[in-house]
Homo-oligomer: A and B are copies of this chain.
Amino acid sequence: MSHNLDKIIENISIDCVIFGFEKNELEILLIKRGIDPFTGQWALPGGFILKEEELDNAAKRILEETTGVENIFLEQVAAFGELHRYPDRRVITIGYFALISPENYSLQPGIDTSDAKWVKFDNLPILPFDHNEIVKKALKKLQAKVRNKPIGFELLPEKFTLTQLQLLYEKILGKKLDKRNFRKKILKMEILKKLDEKDKTTHGRAAYLYQFDCNAYQNFREMGFAFDL
Contact = CB atoms under 8 A, between A and B. Distances in A.
B173 A229 contact: yes
A76 B76 CA distance: 12
A51 B84 CA distance: 11
B94 A82 contact: no
Question: Lowest 6 A-B CB distances belong to which pairs?
Answer: A226-B226, A55-B81, A79-B79, A79-B94, A147-B227, A226-B227
A126 interface: no
B229 A185 contact: yes
Contacts of A55: 79-81, 92
A53 B83 CA distance: 7
A124 interface: no
Interface residues of A, number: 34
Contact of A49 (B81, B173, B177): B81
B51 A90 contact: yes
Given A9-B90, A12-B12, A185-B227, 15 more contacts: A9-B11, A12-B81, A54-B81, A54-B82, A76-B79, A78-B79, A144-B148, A144-B224, A147-B148, A147-B226, A147-B227, A147-B229, A148-B148, A181-B229, A226-B227
A182 interface: yes
Nearest to A78: B76
Contacts of A81: 12, 49, 54-55, 94
A225 interface: yes
A92 B229 CA distance: 35
